[in-house]
Amino acid sequence: MTTTPTAEDLIVLGKITSVHGVRGEVKIYSFTDPIDNLLDYPHWTLKRDAEVKQVEMLSGRLQGKILVAKLKGLDDREVARTFAGFDICVPRALLPDLAEDEFYWYQLEGLKVIDQLGQLLGKIDHLLETGANDVMVVKPCADSLDDRERLLPYTAQCVLKVDLAAGEMQVDWDADF
């Protein structure tokens, strides 16, 4: 008997954006790096609002900057079109372990961001991929220094320490920026 993972155990790794061709393949925007790492996970939980589906990927390939995948039992273009907008999720437990100084984005979201003076700048709301480096969107929270949203680079120069247990990140960042 297999159990369906709970929502808290699922991590979003991509999104079905549209159909590809006439045989029911779907185009996927992948959040993994490199983007074809998503193809390492053949069993997906698809979520869109309150709708949840369990699917199996039969094959997939990189096509430019997107992925194209064939899902088991999905052979019709019009039915495949109804899959657009679904997030592709996998259980957190399937993600590979990282080195000690590496983190998944989901681990950083929600951390309190504290500067070298001990001032609370806010909490990490989400991260953005900009090409040069990832950027942390830090939004104000209870007890934060002010009500400003800040964009901080996720770089070794800025991030001094990440303490997941304490829920904090120490940064080298001037509060006036």
d(CA 172, CA 116): 6
CA 108 to chain centre: 11
Question: What mean pLDDT is predicted for residues 71-77?
Answer: 94
44-72: pLDDT as tens digits: 999 999 999 999 999 999 998 889 999 99
101 within 8 A of 27, measured Cβ to Cβ: no
Four-CA torsion 38, 151, 164, 168, nearest 10 degrees: -170
pLDDT in tens, 111-170: 999 999 999 999 999 988 887 888 999 999 999 999 999 999 999 999 999 999 999 999
- The tens digit of pLDDT for each residue in 19-36 reads 999 999 999 999 888 889
What's the pLDDT band for 2 if we cut at 50, 70, 90?
Answer: very low
Residue extent(s) of CATH 2.30.30.240 domains in the chain: 105-171
Q: What was the pLDDT predicted at 96? A: 86
Instruction: Judge contact between 124 and 106, C-beta under 8 A.
Output: no
Q: Is the pLDDT confidence value at 8 over 70?
A: no
Which CATH number among 3.30.390.30, 2.30.140.10, 2.130.10.10, 2.30.30.240 corresponds to the domain 105-171?
2.30.30.240
Nearest to 26 by CA among 83, 87, 90, 72: 83
For residues 38 and 7, what is the distance between their CA atoms, to the nearest angstrom? 19
pTM above 0.85, yes or no: no
8 class by beta-carbon count within 10 Å (0-12 exposed, 13-18 middle, 19+ buried): exposed
Question: Length of the chain, please?
Answer: 177
Instruction: Give the three-class secondary structure for 81.
Output: helix
Q: Both tokens of residue 141?
A: 């929270």
Model confidence at 1: pLDDT above 50: no
For the domain covering 8-93, report its CATH number: 2.40.30.60
Q: Where in the chain is the domain with CATH 2.40.30.60?
A: 8-93
SS3 of the chain: helix, strand, coil, percent, to 5: 10, 45, 45
